[in-house]
Amino acid sequence: MHAPKEPALAPVASFAELDLPLELAQTMASLGVTEPFPIQAATLPNALAGRDVLGRGRTGSGKTLAFGLALLARTAGQQADPKRPLALVLVPTRELAQQVTEALEPYAAALKLRMATVVGGLSIGRQVSSLRTGAEVVVATPGRLSDLVGRRDVHLERVRITVLDEADQMCDMGFMPQVTELLDQVHHAGQRMLFSATLDRNVDQLVRKYLKDPVSHSVDPQAGAVATMDHHVLHIHAADKISAATEIAARDNRVLMFLDTKHGVDQFVKHLRAMGVRAEGLHSGKSQPQRTRTLAQFKSGAVTVLVATNVAARGIHIDDLDLVVNVDPPADHKDYLHRGGRTARAGESGRVVTLVTPNQRRDMVRLLSDARIRPTITQVRSGEAALSRITGAKAPSGVPLAGSAPTDAKGKPSGSDLAFRGMGTRPGRGKESRKTIEARQQAEARRAARVRRGV
């Protein structure tokens, strides 16, 4: 006979109602964290009481602090032995691991708790060293943590608080065997918190097997997406697609653009830089230091266009990003919602634009129906007012950036085989050869020199 379920504690209206350590409260005040998001208000009272928590919500809903503040408060005052952490956060990607670490580091430092980030693609020796020194909190991807467990560089039997963030993506990426193996090793009587956008298939198995009488809270990802985003489908001819995408990239504010393949990302970035647009690419073929640097440049505004594969569709937090563009439409409605979730975060508004050629229209209708989204549909062409009105598109400067790839007579990066027609065409200038662009640059440089000399 099952024991009756314990009722959940009521949500709080403010952080002041929570019995948080003074150091946490002071750090939150200094960072301007004053009002709890709904998922924080609902889950923190229960998480601080040691209850298992099941949270459903898209990224940007504030869940990092929902689990992070509780995890740190409940670990405060304890000290880990070498190789034996006390709390564990499992995440699917390196980017998300670093983001969670950055978000929690100020609070951990205030409580004198040591954090270690354990991910693939970075020096395993440095990670082993930080574990050997002793870290109370480990943020990890399943693959690298499993490797270190196998090498006996870390032991999990003293982990009493375990968080699974973006659990559905971990399952989708094939991490289920490692996740269950790791959960079997943490302390059997410990607290578990699981956060996921969906609870289908394997995630439901994890919940049933590893969470005890969890308190559930849901922020519906689809309702959230519809409420805070404008969704636009732009019907466009295939021959005009890259010209239009280039004009969108040249807008005044930042934009995140998704393409299907690593090769497509690289070639489009070369093209944009040759057209004078500060673009960089992000995909799994880049090294971790490259990916970290590119994200930092995009967040700071040094790079205005981030061109990415689905590696950037989940778990990446970018403040004040108001436009996401699917240059290539996503494969399914879940990918669409996660790509779009990079904008309209934490209650802000945002816009998701998808470029759709005639042969893609039927699939796009089905995808948006599955996502329960009714977009605004507009027929557009490059250089037209409608494209500019919806996206802020404008003609690029056409002046290649320093270090950008040479272009051929059509403005296309030399040696590239990007299979798009219309590339290199800029409204008002027509097609310019490399020689024409260089001559114009030299003339502009001579004029600038005369101005400096007062001629």
**Domain shared by 56 and 141, yes or no:** yes
**Residue 455 belongs to a domain:** no
pLDDT tens track for 83-132: 999 999 999 988 889 889 999 999 999 999 999 999 988 889 999 999 99
Evaluate whether 319 touches 256 at the Cβ level (below 8 Å).
no
Percentage above 70 pLDDT, the chain: 80
Q: How far apart are CA 380 and CA 241, in angstroms?
A: 10
Q: Hey, what amino acid is at 102?
A: E
Which of the 8 DSSP states describes residue 235?
E
Judge if 372 and 269 occupy the same domain. yes
- Give the per-residue pLDDT at 272: 96
Q: How confident is the model at residue 136 (pLDDT cuts 50, 70, 90)?
A: very high
What is the 3-state secondary structure of 3-56? Answer: CCCCCCCCCCCCHHHCCCCHHHHHHHHHCCCCCCCHHHHHHHHHHHCCCCEEEE
Collapse the DSSP code of 350 into the 3-class scheme (helix H, G, I; strand E, B; otherwise coil) and give the result. strand
In the predicted structure, residue 137 carries a pLDDT above the cut 60: yes
Choose one of 219, 246, 269: the last residue of a domain: 219
Q: Which of 211-215, 281-285, 379-383, 427-431 is predicted with the least confidence, judged by mean pLDDT?
A: 427-431
What pLDDT score was predicted for residue 39? Answer: 86
Same domain for 365 and 231?
Answer: yes
Same-domain check for residues 50 and 126: yes
Residue 224 has pLDDT above 70, yes or no: no
Q: Name the average pLDDT for the chain.
A: 84
- On whether residue 93 sits in a domain, the answer given is yes
Cβ density class 398-428: b for 16+ within 10 Å, e for less: bebeeebbebeeebbbeebeeebebbbbbee
Please check whether residues 44 and 187 belong to one and the same domain: yes
* Mean pLDDT of the region 372-376: 88
For residues 292 and 204, membership in a common domain is answered with no
Shared-domain flag, residues 266 and 181: no
Report the range of poorest mean pLDDT among 30-39, 108-117, 351-360, 428-437: 428-437
> Could you give the CA distance from residue 51 to residue 6 in angstroms, rounded to a whole number?
10
Flag whether pLDDT at 221 surpasses 60: no
Lowest-pLDDT choice from 196-205, 213-222, 440-449: 440-449
290 within domain boundaries: yes
User: Tens digits of per-residue pLDDT, 161-173?
Assistant: 999 998 988 888 8
> Do residues 51 and 28 share a domain?
yes
Q: Within a 10 A sphere around the Cβ of 328, how many other Cβ atoms?
A: 20
pLDDT classification of 429: cutoffs 50, 70, 90: very low
Residue 46: predicted pLDDT: 94
Please give the average per-residue pLDDT across 308-335, as a whole number. Answer: 82
Q: Looking at residue 19, what is its pLDDT?
A: 87
Pick from 179-183, 284-288, 338-342 the range whose average pLDDT is largest: 179-183
Task: Tell me, yes or no, whether 140 lies in a domain.
Answer: yes
Q: What is the mean pLDDT of residues 283-302?
A: 88
Domain membership of residue 2 (yes or no) is no
CATH of the domain at 62: 3.40.50.300
* In a domain? residue 1: no
- Domain termination site, one of 219, 252, 281: 219
Query: Higher confidence at residue 199 or residue 211?
Result: 211
Quickly state the pLDDT bin for 443 (edges 50, 70, 90): low
**Within a domain: residue 9?**
no
Among residues 173, 198, 219, which one ends one of the domains? Answer: 219
> 29: domain range?
15-219
Measured distance CA(121)–CA(323) in Å, rounded: 29
Residue 145 pLDDT exceeds 90: yes
Same domain, 384 and 274: yes
Count of the separate structural domains present in the chain: 2
**Do residue 77 and residue 204 come from a single domain?**
yes
Residue 427: per-residue pLDDT = 34
Higher pLDDT, 453 or 404: 404
Please check whether residue 159 lies inside any domain of the structure: yes
Give the range with max mean pLDDT: 3-12, 54-63, 205-214, 315-324. Answer: 205-214
What is this structure's pTM? Answer: 0.63
Please indicate, yes or no, whether residues 388 and 255 belong to a single structural domain of this protein. Answer: yes
184 and 248 assigned to the same domain: no
